[in-house]
Amino acid sequence: MGPQSSHNDMQHLAAILKNFGVDDPDWVAVILFVRNLLGRLTVYSEEKKGEIQREVFAELAKKDFSETGFETILAMLDMYIMQTIGTLELEESLAQEKRSAAQLLNEMTEIIDSMQGSADRQNRKLDAFKEQTVGVIESGKDRSFIVAKVRDMFQDLIVEFKEEARELQAKAKLLEHTANFDPMLTELHNRRALDAFLQDVMHDQDENSAPLSMMMIDVDFFKDVNDTYGHQAGDDVLRALSRIISAHAVQYQGFTARYGGEEIVIVMQDMKRNIAAIKAEAIRSDVENYDFRIRTDGKLADTPIQFTVSIGVSAWQPGWGAGEFVHAADTALYAAKNSGRNKVSVFKEE
């Protein structure tokens, strides 16, 4: 950019500021961001950039340069940023789900091939057994020899079939685990299994309306952990958290699942909201006091780092579907975060 171009830009900016009657540095910063920096951001499409600029300048045209007006502008920009973060998180979640589905498909194909191969092998063995049996019978030996020989052959055949059956059963169990559990946090169910579980539970709720509660758990400042210590440390934090949560949930038969990102859900049947809040506080306290140490080349660091969680608790209400149930827990979670984090918040209908 040459001197003349820079001078023209400054004149243009001065004209904008004069038009809006702006001299407050905070407001000048907003205009500079929207006019100069927004266009260089790569996370927005050109259409989205234009939309943001139009809406912000429409707000500026009201010439409300009070503190309330400034907060309104910041809230608008914050909304756009959060929408972008949400989109990126969704894309990452979809990519993870795609990888998980591909892994599941590969394992299903492998098991089907194994079953097909097992059937072919068993048919060949049965054919061979028939031929051997005929050969023994036609050998001209006495009856007791023939019976003993055929019995031994039959027992060997049964042992082989049983071994193949055990191998197939083991592969089937592995397939079930792949289908229902998170590929990284192996102690937690995945989102697919959670959705199926909630669907079944909602059907039961319509019939008996038993107490049903949910916790939505999220690591506080998780991005800072990744940025400061690396993604391996972030993954280790999530694994440690999943172990803590699973250890608590197993005591009251809670269904644990990774909801997305670093959010983890526990669904608790036959548990009232006030009891669920107490259980949530126990998890929050254990996480806060957990002696977490980063691994480097397989060795634990000498100095621990502390991480905390915020937890939202909701109780199912008559007429709710799974969506309303999850939304209530999510709303309570963000109330906990907005009130300072490392807290438990309970959703209460207005």
Q: Catalytic residue among 262, 281, 324, 349, which?
A: 262
Task: Confirm whether pTM is higher than 0.85.
Answer: no
- Up-side HSE of residue 284: CA atoms within 13 Å toward CB? 24
- CA 220 – CA 236 distance, rounded (Å): 15
Is 47 a known active-site residue? no
Q: Quickly list DSSP for 92-138.
A: HHHHHHHHHHHHHHHHHHHHHHHHHHHHHHHHHHHHHHHHHHHHHHT
Q: Which residues of the chain have pLDDT under 70?
A: 1-25, 41-44, 78-120, 122, 126, 129, 136-137, 140-143, 145-147, 150, 154, 157-165, 167-186, 297-298, 350
Cβ neighbors of 142 (< 8 A, separation 6 or more) are: none
C-alpha distances in Å from residue 163, one per residue of 118, 124, 127, 153, 168: 11, 16, 19, 16, 9
- What confidence tens digit (pLDDT) does each residue in 187-235 have? 788 888 888 889 888 888 777 778 999 999 999 988 888 888 887 788 8
- CA 261 – CA 219 distance, rounded (Å): 10
Determine the 3-state secondary structure of 313 from DSSP: strand
